[in-house]
Structure 1
Amino acid sequence: MSEFLSILFDPQQVLSVVAKTLFVIFLILILNTILNVVRKGLLLKAKTKKQISNVEIFTQIFRYFFTLLIIIFAVLSYSSAWSSFGIFLGFLSAAMGFALQKPITGIAAWMMVVTKRPFDIGDRIIIGDVKGDVLDVTLTHIHVAEIGGLIDGEEKSGRIVMVPNWLLFERNIVNYTSNDDFVMNKVVVNVTYESNLDHAIEIVDLSARKYLAGIIGMSPGGPEIRLDFQASGIDVQVKYFSPARHLHEYSTNITKEIFDRVRVSGDVEIAYPHTEVVFRKKGE
């Protein structure tokens, strides 16, 4: 009580308290202004209700945390407890940093996704060993509709995988649909060395163009033929762009068309492991 009265009747002490109080109010106003600017910027980037909710929660947490921190510093500035508080704050920040390392990293990753946009809702991505379509991005996890999963392929598995956000800083991120909806795919057929290679190339090219005719104009390029020597024949490859979500559908149709055309051709054969025995008379 005596300390309070001494401050109350000392003009310099009163001015000091008023100045510090005004400075605290000024800091809080500056903090709210900065957080409002950040909040508006993040809301412009948010697309779903969950993302909007995440932005609101995120800004509220930071507002309360920093306001409380400013008030604590202001109260301690009236006493001589700075040294002990500094030691306590150092231990507390070290402990919280260790315990909340991944959650804090996850929030930083969420901010990176919201601002930098390495992928958007609906994009088909690969993060580490998880592959699928992005359903939502929360403060802590990315919700992915898995493709493949228990079986090989590009079809949806029916499972939802929740990827922790902090993994974004430790894994490669592959975005199928960053620029457009098309990705490179290929179909390979191995034909025997006795086959008519030019006819085989024609069969593969026509088979691909039959099913790609409707999308060649929208894709980055048309089908291209490539050849490689193999032990039992020659690989005839057709490389083409197809919609990322229909890779297996197009490769299946092209494979079936190639097979049907080879069967009716008289000079192209598909190579496969088999044994051929040739008998010759002695002296021939």
Structure 2
Amino acid sequence: MAVIQDILDNVGLWVDAGINVLIVLFILLLINVFFTILRTNLMKKAKTKKQRSNIRIFGQLSRYTLSLLVIILAILSSSGAWSSFGVFLGLLSAAIGFALQQPITGIAAWIMVVTKRPFDIGDRIIIGDVKGDVVDFNLTHVHVMEIGGLITDEENSGRTIMVPNWMLFEKNIINYTSNNDFVLHSVIVNVTYESNLDRAIEIADLSARKFLAGTISTSPGAPKVRVDFQASGIDVQVKYFSPARQLHEYSSKITKEIFDRINDAEDVEIAYPHTEVVFRKKAM
């Protein structure tokens, strides 16, 4: 009976607390709806990858900050103990920091990404052994649309990998598209020593330029050809800047073009392992 009586005596406090919680939840819902609508409208006006990334980051940062302020103010208002709140907050932070080391490290990594910008949404990156395009990142994870995966090339696998943010402090971050959307790639063909080397160099150069004609003016440089001695022939390597998301597409087209041109050429042959038997008459 004493317990029931105590509950009845404090029913007003419970009702006030419930109303405060509902008010806070309603305000948080309004904040989420507001920033969702704002982001949608701004995304329609964004024209570049950088602008879209900035909109996402600004929305996340503003929403998290405003929501945290609302919760803190609600706690302070309901407790009525502003002076003791600092001590409580310090003890709570220490306990949470010990129990949630990796999540807190993840939040610190999120702040690092927001301020230092090692990558943006849309960039192609490698984090440890995960490679793909960044589609989103939040307080806990970086969402990466995987490339490669079950196959060993630069094609999109269709799988999304969620990388914990705390890994950003422990793994190397490689950004394909930090400065621009191009990366250096190459195609190598090994030709015989009997081939016309100048003609082989020309074939490699023309093959690359045929498919890169529309991107050379915006890329860091034009295709270039390098040659090296090998045991059974000479490597003719054409190096070119390819759009990062089309590496395999361009290398496949250039490879086929080189093959077709060499087949049509009479003075260039592809070297491959084979045995040649030569019969000579022994001098008496």
Shorter-chain TM-score: what band? 0.7 to 0.9
Quote the sequence identity (%).
66
Query: 2:241 matched to 1:241?
Result: yes
Q: Structure 1: which amino acid aligns with 2:260?
A: D
Please, which of 51, 55, 63 is the counterpart of residue 47 of structure 1? 55
Are the equivalent residues in 1 in contact too, given 2:60–2:138 (CA < 8 A)? Answer: no
TM-score where L is the length of structure 2: 0.73
Greater Cα radius of gyration, structure 1 or 2: 1
Query: 2:187 matched to 1:187?
Result: yes
Secondary structure, in 3 states, of the residue corresponding to 1:47? helix
Structure 2 unmatched runs, 5+ = 1-38, 40-50
Q: Structure 2: which amino acid aligns with 1:74?
A: S
The residue correspondences of 1:259-274 to structure 2 (distance < 5 A) are 259-274=259-274
The residue correspondences of 1:19-34 to structure 2 (distance < 5 A) are none
Measured after TM superposition, the shift of residue 62 of structure 1 is 6.3
Measured after TM superposition, the shift of residue 210 of structure 1 is 1.2
Are the equivalent residues in 2 in contact too, given 1:192–1:271 (CA < 8 A)? Answer: yes
Measured after TM superposition, the shift of residue 61 of structure 1 is 3.3
Measured after TM superposition, the shift of residue 185 of structure 1 is 0.5
Measured after TM superposition, the shift of residue 59 of structure 1 is 4.8
CA RMSD between the two structures: 2.9
Cα distance in 1, alignment partners of residues 133 and 96 from structure 2? 34
Measured after TM superposition, the shift of residue 75 of structure 1 is 3.8
The residue correspondences of 1:217-228 to structure 2 (distance < 5 A) are 217-228=217-228
Q: Structure 2: which amino acid aligns with 1:224?
A: K
Cα distance in 2, alignment partners of residues 165 and 55 from structure 1? 19
Q: Structure 2: which amino acid aligns with 1:236?
A: V
Change (3 A) 1:75 1:209: closer
User: After the TM superposition, which of the residue ranges 92-101 and 204-213 deviates more from structure 2?
Assistant: 92-101
Measured after TM superposition, the shift of residue 64 of structure 1 is 4.6
Match of 1:110 in 2: 110
Q: Structure 2: which amino acid aligns with 1:244?
A: A
TM-score where L is the length of structure 1: 0.73
Match of 1:124 in 2: 124
Structure 1 unmatched runs, 5+ = 1-42, 78-84
Query: 2:167 matched to 1:167?
Result: yes
Query: 2:256 matched to 1:256?
Result: yes
Measured after TM superposition, the shift of residue 118 of structure 1 is 1.3
Q: Structure 1: which amino acid aligns with 2:154?
A: E
Measured after TM superposition, the shift of residue 173 of structure 1 is 1.0
Match of 2:36 in 1: none
The residue correspondences of 1:124-143 to structure 2 (distance < 5 A) are 124-143=124-143
Measured after TM superposition, the shift of residue 96 of structure 1 is 3.3
Cα distance in 1, alignment partners of residues 203 and 171 from structure 2? 41
Q: What does the per-residue CA deviation read over 1:261-284, in whole Å, with 9 as the maximum and x for residues that have no partner?
A: 111111111111111111111128
Q: Structure 1: which amino acid aligns with 2:256?
A: K
